[in-house]
Structure formats: structure tokens, C-alpha cells
Amino acid sequence: MSERPSWSAPAELAGLERRAWLVGGCGLAISVFGAFLNRAQFTQSYLVAWLLWTGIAFGCFAVMALHHLSGGAWGLMVRRVLESATRTIPILALLFVPVLIGLSDVYSWADPEAVAANEYLQQKTGYLNAGFYIARFAGYFLIVGGLAWLIRRRSLRQDETGDPMHSRRMQNLAGPSLGIYVLVATLASVDWIMSADPLWYSSLFGVYFVGGHAVSAFAFIIPVALWLREREPMSRALTDRHFHDYGKLLFAFVMLWGYFALSQLLIIWSGNLAEEVTWYVERTAGGWKTLSLLLALLHFALPFLMLLSRGLKRNARRLATIAILLLAMRWVDLYWQLGPTFHHDGFSLHWLDLTTVVGLGGIWLALFFKFLGQQPLLPIHDPDLEEALAGE
């Protein structure tokens, strides 16, 4: 290209950041007020909301590693989006403090009275105890946050020096990072979700959790890419072929999530063991049954059928609509996983479930917009940039 744009972030990004801070601050203020009225409900609602936004950040880390490992224009166009999302990981660790304060409100193994009354819980205290839980939590974030920092550092060094060797170094980091992420996410799924019902167990839950992260990441990337495409300078970079790639990847991970969800259900249902099948029995009764059907329809069946269309995948606006639907269903999925554990007397939706997800989401998005505006929107010295910017 004869004249290379600066690729600096559009001025509207600062306005989005300000609005996100305002919405997030109001949402969290209302949620904190709710915590004084019902601390247990606040902690439970906050955990679900935190898992949603953490899933996006962790999923973006996995997608970033996948991009560096495999290459391709699809990842190069949104590398800064992925890096900005992963920069929020240390802050997400700090935002977990309210859950740590109310640990016994969501995890029965953290309640000494519940442990004393349950022999089964007593047998698990070696692993399920507050001290070891916090140590593992810190380890997860140090590992994933540290790997994200190392990859991003190489990316920024490439911008500064133009040395193509940084691409090889990022690729060398990406392979082990992806494997480590899957291991960390699997262990985290046990700690953050499965241990809320310590009498239940599933050997497939870890990969189901990882599949959800991948869907969350692409469901977030696509609307952001659309917003950037409609403004300079990214209107000159993002094309229909890039969105076609994002649509294909979203389609693949929706199928993968559905495969893991169905496999877990079939294995547990056919085994018919009391300590496993009761988890599904509770979620297929009353109002939870309706939520289960909603998940099957809107998290899998409808997106699957619509993403079969090549034309839809190349239509950025229509693709973004499906992505936003899936992002909403990611919250529904997490609520479906944890809600019956907290509300054994039937389906329940509290106003704190909504204010916490809006509050945390506003804060997370404000930080994301801030980080995205601090750097060029494309890796300006990546050796594959010219090819990625080429036409159809």
C-alpha cells in the first residue's frame, strides 16, 4: 500500500467508555444496596455475572493463542480486540473479592456448620477449603494473566521494532498457552461452578465450560468488529470475508458447545447414578425445564440453523445479531448451571441477577474500551498485515 493509515482508534471510543463507566457504576451501586438487603442473593447473582464477563476475557485469551498458533487474516484484524480483552484479566481477579467475602453463601463446603453435618463434605475438605480455593484462584489468574501479558508484550515489541521474529516467538508461546489454558479452565470449572453442588460430578464439565468460553469470545468479537468496521480507519480493513471467517468459527464453537452439552446429558442419564442424574432432574422440572428448552433452542438450534447460511455469515449486521443473542444466552447458561443449586424450591429470578450483570458489564466494557483506545487498532508491523488487508 502506498500510504499506510495510522490505524488509531476512532474518537467515539472515548464516549463509549464514559457511558460504560456511568452504566456500570449505577448498576454496581444498586447491587451494593441490594447486598445490604440480602447478602446471600447478592453473592449468588454476582458470581453468575462475574463468570459471564470472565468467560469473555478467558475466551479471548484462548482465541488469541489460537490465532498466533494458526495464523490467518481473521485473527490479525481483531488482535487488538483480543489483547484489550485479556488486559482485563488482573482486574477481574480483584472483582472476585465480593464472592470471597461471601464464600459460604455460594459454596456449602465453606460453611463450617454444613461441613460438620455432612460426612461426604468432610471427606472433601482436603481440596474444598477456603485457603486452598483462594490459592488455586490466584494461581489460575497468575498463569493465564501472565501468559496473556507475555504474548501481548511480544506483539507490542513487534510494533516498535518491526522484527518479524516476534511472530515466531508469539507462535512458540501460543501452543503451550492454549494447552495450559484448557487445563486451568477445567480446574476452574470445578472450583467456580461444580463445587457449588459438591455432591455432583461430571467428567465432561471442564470441556463444556471451555466450549462456553469460545462461544462467549466470538459472540463478543463480532459486534465489536462490526462497530469498528462502520468507522474509520477500520472500514478500510474489515471486509465481508473476515466476517465470513468469524461466522464459520462461531458456527464451529456453537456446534462444539452443543456436542459437549448433549454428550454430558447422555452419559449421565444413561448411567442413572443418583449423585449425577439428580443435577439434571432438578433442571428439567418446573420453571427450570422452560429455561432448559430455551437454552436448547436459542443457544444451539436457532444459531446452528441460521449460521448454516453463507449469506448470513457474510452479512456483518445479521451475524452480529446472532452473536448478541448468543452472548445473552451465555448468561442464561451460567444461570441455569448455578441457579437450581441456590434455589431448590423452584425457578427464581431476582432483580440482583440483572443489576449485577449490568454493573459488572459496564465496568468491564469501560476498561476494555479504554485499553482498546491506547494502541493502534492493527499490528502495524506484522509481516502478514499486507496480505490480510488485501481484497477478496
Q: Does a structural domain hold residue 13?
A: no
This model's pTM is above 0.85: yes
By CB neighbour count within 10 A (0-12 exposed, 13-18 middle, 19+ buried), where does 54 fall? buried
- Statement: residue 2 has pLDDT above 50: no
Q: What percent of the chain has pLDDT over 70?
A: 98
pLDDT of 162 reads 82
pLDDT in tens, 232-257: 999 989 999 999 999 999 999 999 99
pLDDT in tens, 82-94: 999 999 999 999 9
Q: Does a structural domain hold residue 6?
A: no
Give the range of the structural domain holding residue 170, as residue numbers without chain letter. 20-383
Is-contact 181 65, C-beta < 8 A?
yes
Q: Does a structural domain hold residue 160?
A: yes
Report the mean per-residue pLDDT for the chain.
94
Task: Tell me how many domains the chain contains.
Answer: 1
Length of the chain measured in residues = 392
Q: Which residues contact 40 (CB under 8 A, 6 or more apart)?
A: 102, 105
Q: At what angle do helices 351-372 and 79-86 cross, to 10 degrees?
A: 120
Q: Does a structural domain hold residue 221?
A: yes
Cα end-to-end span (Å), the chain: 16
Q: Does a structural domain hold residue 7?
A: no
